[in-house]
Amino acid sequence: MLYPSLIKVFLASAGAFFIGMAITPILTNWLYNNKMWKKKAGKISPDGCATPIFNELHKDKEVGTPRMGGIVIWGSVLLVTILFWLLSLLWPDHSRLNFLSRNQTWLPLFTLLVGAIVGFIDDWRQVKAEQDCHKAGLPFSQRLLVVVVLGLIGGYWFYFKLGMVAIAIPFVGSLYLGWLIVPLFILVMIALFSSGVIDGLDGLSGGVMAIIFSSYTIIAFAQGQFDLAAFCGAVAGGLLAFLWFNIPPARFYMSETGILGLTTALTVVAFLTNSVATLPIIALPLVATVLSVVIQLASKKLRQGKKVFLVAPLHHHFEALGWPAYKVVMRYWVIGIIFAIIGLIITLFGGPKL
């Protein structure tokens, strides 16, 4: 059983990678021909204030480089999923390749695609708007509402359909939550949605997310959730295809259509593998990114405008210190790999098992 399942995971990963590589030239031509980039560079902070340091650092970026590169990721995952499903229908001997299953992959695929579609709408409005970039796109409240609704659906599914009432605490046991699983699911999804601001440097979000989903490929496989492992492997493969073209200088940016789908799907994967407690370790770069923004906003509010970081999120703080962007990105990758390995070990050996 393990050998064919391992082949399925590897083929899903490789298939998504090569499909992503194949569709990128088509997507790139469309993005550049339609000038799918921001009209103006820069942004404002979540509290509505200007970000002069960030705007100075990125004054020559964003304009001229298309958004929507995330289509490569979710597009390759969707296509390889459909391909393997069709193979199982046309040639029953290949049915073991199919990883589309109700109890393991329906929900993460659903959240990936819904998040991607909402993100696509936001990106489309960003690039088509003629006003300042921070006034374009879907309002934050609308995107947050989508995340909350997805969280409600996911929480309902886990509590009522899958009967999940507790989460695993490594080396301790199970923490019984009952119906509180639903609000916990929503909170985790909101937190990961907030971490989407990590998509700020060439190669950063793609590399970090590839590391995280690769870790969950191993975790799901070790737990015997082979369809979920294949799904995570496909996402990792799609991310690597995207990363091939996002390494500096980026051919395109992941933007909201990629990061929103990935963060919502990651929430589902963490709950399916009962690894919510170790998610902050496995996804430490995402946690650090969110905390840096929260700390910065809190400091400015409570300390009469004084800042902790030169600019938030954290990766831009290092930029402002004079680190080259590629050095920031590669060090994030290194930290991401180390903590993903630590989180993986704790998850697999800390118990309790599913």
For 148-202, write each residue's pLDDT tens digit. 999 999 999 999 988 999 999 999 989 999 999 999 999 999 999 999 999 889 9
From 50-64, 212-226, 326-340, the region with the lowest mean pLDDT: 50-64
User: With b meaning 16 or more CB within 10 Å and e meaning fewer, what string describes 121-130?
Assistant: bbbbebbeee
Residue of 34 and 50 predicted with greater confidence: 34
Does 16 score more than 90 pLDDT? yes
Mean pLDDT for the chain overall: 89
Is the pLDDT assigned to residue 48 strictly greater than 60?
no
**In angstroms, rounded to a whole number, what is the distance separating the alpha carbons of residues 55 and 343?**
35
Residue 41 clears pLDDT 70, i.e. is over it: no
Query: Which element (helix H / strand E) includes 174?
Result: strand 173-176
pLDDT greater than 60 at residue 80: yes
| Domain spans, the chain | 2-350
- CB-CB neighbours of 267 under 10 Å: 29
- Asked whether the whole model's pTM tops 0.85, one would answer yes
Give the amino acid at 190: I
293 CB-near residues (< 8 Å, 6+ apart): 46, 194, 197, 312, 313
pLDDT digits (tens, 9 = 90+) for 335-354: 999 999 999 999 998 865 44
Question: What is the pLDDT confidence band of residue 131, given thresholds at 50, 70 and 90?
Answer: very low
In eight-state DSSP terms, residue 170 is T
Between 49 and 47, residue with greater pLDDT: 49
End-to-end CA distance of the chain: 19
**In contact, 178 and 225? CB cutoff 8 Å:** no
Q: Answer for the pair 192, 286: CB distance below 8 angstroms, yes or no.
A: yes
Percent of the chain residues topping a pLDDT of 90: 68
What is residue 45's predicted lDDT score, i.e. its pLDDT? 53
Instruction: Determine the average pLDDT of the residues in 265-279.
Output: 96
Q: Give the model's pLDDT for residue 96.
A: 80
Between the alpha carbon of residue 262 and those of residues 22, 87, 175, 310, the distances in Å are 21, 26, 27, 28
Could you tell me how far CA 4 lies from the centroid of its own chain? 28
Backbone angles phi, psi at 169, to 5 degrees: -110, 110
Mean pLDDT over residues 124-139, rounded?
Answer: 69
Quick check: 225 pLDDT over 90?
Answer: yes
Q: Is the pLDDT of residue 29 over 90?
A: yes
Distance CA 31, CA 85 (A): 29
pLDDT (0 to 100) of residue 244: 96
Judged by DSSP in three states, 167 sits in strand
**Bigger pLDDT: 92 or 250?**
250
DSSP one-letter code for 125: H
User: What confidence category does residue 312 fall into, taking pLDDT thresholds of 50, 70 and 90?
Assistant: confident
CB-facing half-sphere around the CA of 309: CA atoms within 13 A:
23
Give the range among 42-46, 72-76, 335-339 with minimum mean pLDDT. 42-46
